[in-house]
Structure 1
Amino acid sequence: YVFAGGLEEEDGPVYSADTTSGTLVITDGPYVETKEFLGGFAVVDVTDDEAAKMWAGKVAEACGWPHEVRRFKPQPQAE
């Protein structure tokens, strides 16, 4: 049920974490410049955007692929 609320598409911040140059580069926006297929995802429960960026950098470095950072909306209440 982690994904029940969906992504914060409208106003939520979006960052890209890329380590393919050998150095972590965090940029605003969801568009990673690559000709390669981007696939898969990781869900990390963190307290703030800085922690999310740090983990995105670690994941990007570990797998060798750029990653986007997005927030999930709160889970909707059951009726």
Structure 2
Amino acid sequence: MTKYLISFPSSAMVVSADELPAVADAAHAVVQEAKDAGVWVFGGGIDESVAAVMVDGGGSVAEGTYPQTSRFDGGFTVLELPTREAALEWAARIATACRCAQEVREFMYDPES
């Protein structure tokens, strides 16, 4: 089976403070469905209050990130699914729960994993 990354940036989720508890409940319900279906690998929201750092091969650490990923935020889910169509169906469920469109990307096949 193939692993799929289903994600959204923080700016895509536009909900009021009053709506947030219902959105969180709906998102947790979809996560539980994925776990119950045996397709859940990992997921969560990026903690935007913690700055990104870069670590090089020698172990040096520097604040910051690659310029093209300076706005990596929001939430993501990794699911292992039999087809791209299944990934699109799960993305639709997540989009409904989070009230925002989801981006779907496929991980490359790795025979060692």
Superposition TM-score tier, normalisation by shorter sequence: 0.3 to 0.5
Q: Which protein has the larger Cα radius of gyration, Structure 1 or Structure 2?
A: 2
Which structure is higher in strand share?
Answer: 2
Task: Name the TM-score, length of structure 2 as normaliser.
Answer: 0.33
Return the structure number with greater helix share: 2
**What is the TM-score normalised by the length of structure 1?**
0.46
